[in-house]
Amino acid sequence: MYLKVTKYIAFVLLAAGLCAQSCSKSFTDLTPQGSITDANYWKTESDAIFAANGLYQHFSYDNMFGRGLFWFINASDDMVTGRTDAGSAAVRNFTATGNENRINSMYRIFYQIIQRANTIIHKVPAMQINESIKRRVLGEAYFMRGYAYFYLAQYYGDQRAGVPIVTEENMLETSFVRPPHVRENFLQIEKDLLAAADLLPLLTTYDANDLGRANKDAAYAYLAKTNIQWARYDNARWAEVVKYCDMVTNSGSGRKLIDTDRPEEDFASVFYIANNYSSEYIFSVVSNKVNGCILPAVVFENTGYGLYNGWGYFHPSLELYNSFEAGDARKKATILEFNDSYTLFGEERRYYSANSQTGFQFKKYMEPFRYPIAQHLNPIGDYPTSDLNVPLVRYADILLMKAEASIMLGQSGDMEINLVRNRAGLPALQGATLADLKRERRSEFAAEYTDRHSDLVRWGDAQAAYARPATGRQHANKTDPTSSYTIVEVWSGRRFDPSVHHVWPIPPPDLSNSGIAQNNGW
């Protein structure tokens, strides 16, 4: 695993009594582990690097990018919950309370990341260490604080209230308030990410051991993502989206799509282990076989045909399947349907599923399952991690964010949309509309943390989309790849109230510990 972050867990970073004794438990849970204290830490270059490594610890948490945040994406019309599970059903049906164990830890963990970043920002400037290391570590801290606030603001903040802002300046306080508008969070995110962009190097300057760390392009990318959310409240932000997308493109790091004029292979190869750090890479969840991200196994067939553990939680809807244009190479790379040929553990087979609710499986993350188990998967099937990184931002998102912003500004987004379409084997568009852009994002980012649900919410399309039921294929013989099927409703239409459900409930324990108010309506 890159980053060398597998042995810092005992520190829980910030063992400094500073954090443990001064921070509201609604935001952090940083009780020191081990004997490291302020008195004997923050002395050496290794101390600073070790602290920065802790900012990435959540990459291996099942309830973060393993599947936790995916329960929010699962609310979209692209998929259904693949197993009977009351908590995840409540999330998808917008009846959750925030107490559900599926979603009750992410809010707290993001604040843990923030508090770890705060302590680095507080401690590292005074350290007598190599200046380039100091700049990078501080850049990582500013980046990860802005990154954490981005997700908190997207999921929990709106025009009625943002999320509490905790920085190095007020982290010793014992209570915090919600700002009156989420724009206050956006301003903080912007400030942090600009500081990060100034301090961080380009990805292309990292050696192999440091790939996966925050980098300059990632800071610009999250500035673009922040502004696209901000534009819901301020149209002037569309120009900022264009600006920061261009800064990624022109940074000098050579970010570009994987496109070798082989549509049937190019898009699929984005999700190959060999391309964890390809030209399309911006920022990903770094994973490995022992202590990595379980998302690929979460979407794999439940019980894995008796060959390896799969959890089968997220199944593509027929609506997603039908949304792809004819000839779009992304369809086969994204979804397995009955009788599709694919490779599983070194053997060619035809897809079928006794468990899929819809008759489909997501294929996008299945490359680790193509080889003998020990090659890319944890041999301990009860913890089915792999060494495939799971992308959070890739260059296609930069192109399509710029295209959307350009269209919203009354300009052409054709060039950027057509770069993405060309890679998929589709003809170029002229005068692409917002409807074209929406379809392109759905086809490009299905089952990714780019988040179809968040897109539908910010476009104002969620209410109509979720009122329609989700459908799938019911095969007569679920173990026969050639079996006939009928179309069935697999999930009833849902009531989405755009005045309530555009944000998620803050977990009640965090509310009671901090004294802040719940999002209205939840």
Please tell me the predicted confidence (pLDDT) of residue 37: 57
The pLDDT > 90 percentage for the chain reads 89
pLDDT value at residue 27: 27
Residue for token pair 């005074």: 126
Which of 456, 415, 497 minimizes the C-alpha distance to 232? 456
* pLDDT over 90 at 302, yes or no: yes
Of the chain, the percentage scoring pLDDT greater than 70 comes to 93
Q: What angle do CA 16, 20, 22 make, to 5 degrees?
A: 110
Contact 425, 327 (CB under 8 A): yes
Q: Is the pLDDT of residue 73 over 80?
A: yes
pLDDT at 380: 87
Structure confidence by residue, pLDDT tens digits, 358-398: 999 999 999 999 999 999 999 988 889 999 999 999 999 99
Q: Which of 83, 195, 191 has the alpha carbon at shortest distance from 136?
A: 195
Q: What mean pLDDT comes out for the span 252-258? A: 98
pLDDT digits (tens, 9 = 90+) for 442-470: 999 999 999 999 999 999 999 999 999 99
Q: Which residues pair with 485 in a beta bridge?
A: 475
pLDDT in tens, 409-432: 999 999 999 999 999 999 999 999
Residue 278 half-sphere exposure toward CB, CA atoms < 13 A = 24
- Angle CA 519–298–486, to nearest 5: 95
C-alpha pair distances (Å), 514 with each of 27, 93, 509: 8, 27, 9
DSSP code for 368: G
Q: Is the pLDDT of residue 357 over 60?
A: yes
* Calpha distance 51→42 (Å, rounded): 9
- Residues whose CB is less than 8 angstroms from the CB of residue 129 and which lie 6 or more positions away in sequence, other chains included: 44, 45, 48
CA 40 centroid distance within chain = 36
Selection from 99, 28, 106 nearest residue 449 by Cα: 106
Evaluate whether 271 touches 293 at the Cβ level (below 8 Å).
no
- pLDDT of the residue at 483: 98
Give Cβ neighbours of residue 425 (< 8 Å, ≥ 6 apart).
263, 264, 327, 328, 329
Torsional class of 325: left (φ above 0), alpha (ψ -120 to 50), beta (otherwise): beta
Residue 34 tokens read as: 């081990």
* pLDDT tier at 291, thresholds 50, 70, 90: confident
Q: Tell me whether strands 341-344 and 347-350 are parallel, antiparallel or unpaired.
A: antiparallel
Q: Is the pLDDT of residue 15 over 90?
A: no
Summarize pLDDT for 203-235 with one digit per residue, the tens: 999 999 999 999 999 999 999 999 999 999 999
Q: What is the pLDDT of residue 11?
A: 32
Longest dimension (CA), the chain: 70
Q: Are 286 and 1 in contact (CB under 8 A)?
A: yes
Mean pLDDT of the chain: 92
Q: What is the pLDDT of residues 141-156, one digit of tens each?
A: 999 999 999 999 999 9
Rama region for 471: left / alpha / beta (φ>0; ψ in -120 to 50; rest):
beta
Amino acid letter for position 234: D
Q: Which of 321, 304, 284, 264 is nearest to 384 (CA)?
A: 304
Helix (H, G, I), strand (E, B) or coil at 81: strand
Contact, 94 vs 463, CB < 8 A? no
pLDDT at residue 381 in the model: 83
**What integer pLDDT is reported at residue 168 of this predicted model?**
96
Helix axis angle, 452-459 to 216-230, nearest 10°? 40
Q: How far apart are CA 455 and CA 357, in angstroms?
A: 24
CB 454 within 8 A of CB 442: no
Separation of alpha carbons 174 and 25, rounded Å = 9
Q: 334 — phi, psi (to 5°)?
A: -100, -35
Q: What is the pLDDT of residues 81-128, one digit of tens each?
A: 998 989 999 999 999 999 999 999 999 999 999 999 999 999 999 999
pTM of the model: 0.93
35 pLDDT more than 50: no
Residue 9 predicted with pLDDT over 90 = no
Other C-beta atoms closer than 10 Å to the C-beta of 428 total 12
